[in-house]
Amino acid sequence: MTIRTDPASTAAKSAADPHTAGPHAARERLWDAVREGDEYAASEAVFAALDAGTDPEAVLLDVIAPVQRKVGAEWAADRITVAQEHAATAINDRIIAALAHRVRGGARPGAGAGRVTVACVDGEWHALPARLLAEVLVLRGWQVDFLGAQVPVPHLIAHLHRTGPCAVALSSSIPTRLPTAHAAITACQAAGTPVLAGGAAFGPDGRYARLLGADAWAPDARAAADRLGGETPLLPGPRSAHHPVDDLPHLADQEYTMVSRTAPRLVGETMTGLEERFPAMREYTERQRLHTAEDVAHIIDFLSAALYVDDEELFTGFMTWTAQILTARKVPAHSLRPALDLLAGQLQDFPRTTRLLEQAHRALDADSAPAPAPATTPDTTGHGKPE
């Protein structure tokens, strides 16, 4: 965090009680406000921090960003509802807009400012991390085109041709979007624009960003802004002949294609198999059945993504995470193992897939002790939201 040190703001800081106005206090106050859906209190918390002299970038990254991360974590732990989560996100979004309006004050970037495009991968709904980066870049003097959530690749490319930015910052939080992210990265590069990838989807160490040929990766907005403005800037221009297939030679086995194409049928047969194993499932309501089917579809989505990047951790990580989510909701997680078994039965001709399913099974075994067949049903799952 950076605190302005000019005399005026130092005076403001000492006048304001640091315990109620510093980034830490602001974070607490903002969290309380967004959890209650109180936009008024939320903006008060943020603007008090600004008035106390906290650097606007620090407000974005050390107050709002951590609160937004906490929103996700609290949802995962079942301490807030989906509705609260959406409301909190909407409030954070509005506050970023208000903060940007106040700090920018209608100022235009300088003539020498570079232009950069910030966008989310198609199918990516979590626009807030990208939004934060966009605002940080504006604060640092960039001319920023923020295209928002889920940008179809043709729209992104048309935008690049029209505006010719120095670089694209591409955000994705959900690993199931990695194949789409790959298409976006190669298309941007083919149009002569380098790509900086960011977001949880690319792995904690950025390994999938490297795998998919991104020109750079950053773990967070501050690092991304540093990288874009750093000493070795990303330069637009021709990439060496980069063909998507060269990144992922393992795709030659067609397993990704087969599994992702047949996903609806795999879901159907897995559901039938689960009903045979657990007769109680036949009494499910339509909504319960849908949620279970969505959970199975989600498992297959992550299986496909893991096949695409050929990384077992992507799949085992998702399965153990799902088990924790279910446990947090007091739903026994052992219905996951039969689902894996049923999928393994249908996909036994695919060696990479079979290996992934076995590893996930072992990871679940290591994570918790086996339990008898479920008495209750995983009705509270199916949020389709893996982070």
Partner 1 sequence: MGPAARAPVVAIFEDSSARPRGTGTGSGAVWDDAPCAVLVVDPSGTVVGANAVATGLLPQAVPGARLEEAVPHWLADAHRRLTASSAPLSGPGEAPGGEAGGRSLRAHPARGGNGDVVWWLLDDTELRLAEDALRGERERTALLAEVSETLSATLNVERCTEAIVRLAVQHLADAAVLIAPAAGRRLPVTHGTPEGPVHGTAEADPETVPGLSEALQGFPPVPSRWIDPALLPDWIMPPRFDGPAGSVVVTPLPGHGVPAGALVLLRRTGHAAFSRSEETFARLFAARAGAALSAARLYAEQAAITETLMRELFPPGLRQVHGVEFAGGYRVSELKEWVGGDFYDLHPAAGPDEESLVVLGDVCGKGLEAAVLTGKIRNTLHALLPMAGDHPRVLGLLNGALVSSHHTRFATLVLASAARVDNHVRLRLTSAGHPPPLIVRADGSVEEADTRGSLIGVLPRIRARTATVELAPGETCLLYTDGITEARGGPLGGDMFGEERLKDALGECAAMPAEAVVERVRMLAGQWVAGRSHDDMAVVAITAPRTVHLSAVDGHTRGRYTT
- Check residue 99 for interaction with partner 1 (CB under 8 A): yes
- Segment holding 294, helix H or strand E: helix 286-309
In angstroms, give the least distance from the CB of 61 to partner 1.
Answer: 19
192-231: b (≥16 Cβ within 10 Å) or e: ebbbbbbbbbbbeebebbebbbbbbbbebbbbbbebbeee
In angstroms, give the least distance from the CB of 82 to partner 1.
Answer: 6
CA 366 distance to own-chain centroid: 27
Round to whole Å and give the CA distance between 380 and 374.
Answer: 14
- Segment holding 356, helix H or strand E: helix 351-367
- Residue closer to partner 1, measured from CB, 207 or 383: 383
The phi and psi torsions of 105 (rounded to 5 degrees) equal 55, 35
Q: What is the dihedral of CA 323, 331, 353, 172, to 10 degrees?
A: -60
In angstroms, give the least distance from the CB of 327 to partner 1.
Answer: 22
- Residue closer to partner 1, measured from CB, 240 or 349: 240
Round to whole Å and give the CA distance between 257 and 294.
Answer: 20
Residues numbered 38-67 forming contacts with partner 1, rule: CB under 8 A: 38-40, 43-44, 47-48, 51
Q: Which region among 4-12, 293-301, 305-313, 317-325 touches partner 1 (by CB under 8 A)?
A: 293-301
Give Cβ neighbours of residue 233 (< 8 Å, ≥ 6 apart).
Answer: 114, 166
Token pair, residue 29, equals 């106050």
Per-residue mark of binding to partner 1, 117-156 (x: CB under 8 A): ------x-x------------------------x-xxxx-
- Residue closer to partner 1, measured from CB, 12 or 344: 12
DSSP-derived pairing of the beta strands 115-121 and 143-151: parallel
For residue 217, the SS3 value is: strand
Round to whole Å and give the CA distance between 152 and 183.
Answer: 10
Round to whole Å and give the CA distance between 279 and 281.
Answer: 5
In angstroms, give the least distance from the CB of 87 to partner 1.
Answer: 5
- Residue closer to partner 1, measured from CB, 101 or 250: 101
Site size with partner 1, rule: CB under 8 A: 60
Q: Which region among 159-167, 207-215, 277-285, 330-338 touches partner 1 (by CB under 8 A)?
A: 159-167
Which residue from 63, 87, 144, 209 is in contact with partner 1, where contact means CB under 8 A? 87
- Residue closer to partner 1, measured from CB, 73 or 97: 97
In angstroms, give the least distance from the CB of 191 to partner 1.
Answer: 5
Per-residue mark of binding to partner 1, 260-279 (x: CB under 8 A): ---xxx-xx--x--------
Residues numbered 176-215 forming contacts with partner 1, rule: CB under 8 A: 190-193
**Under a CB-based contact definition with an 8 Å cutoff, are residues 270 and 339 in contact?**
yes
- Check residue 242 for interaction with partner 1 (CB under 8 A): no
- Residue closer to partner 1, measured from CB, 48 or 138: 48
- Residue closer to partner 1, measured from CB, 289 or 361: 289
Which residue from 1, 97, 280, 371 is in contact with partner 1, where contact means CB under 8 A? 97
Round to whole Å and give the CA distance between 151 and 168.
Answer: 12
Q: What is the dihedral of CA 98, 100, 103, 108, to 10 degrees?
A: -130
Q: Which residues bind partner 1 (CB under 8 A)?
A: 37-40, 43-44, 47-48, 51, 81-83, 86-87, 89-91, 93-95, 97-99, 101-102, 123, 125, 150, 152-155, 158, 160-164, 190-193, 235-238, 241, 263-265, 267-268, 271, 287, 290, 293-294, 296-297, 384
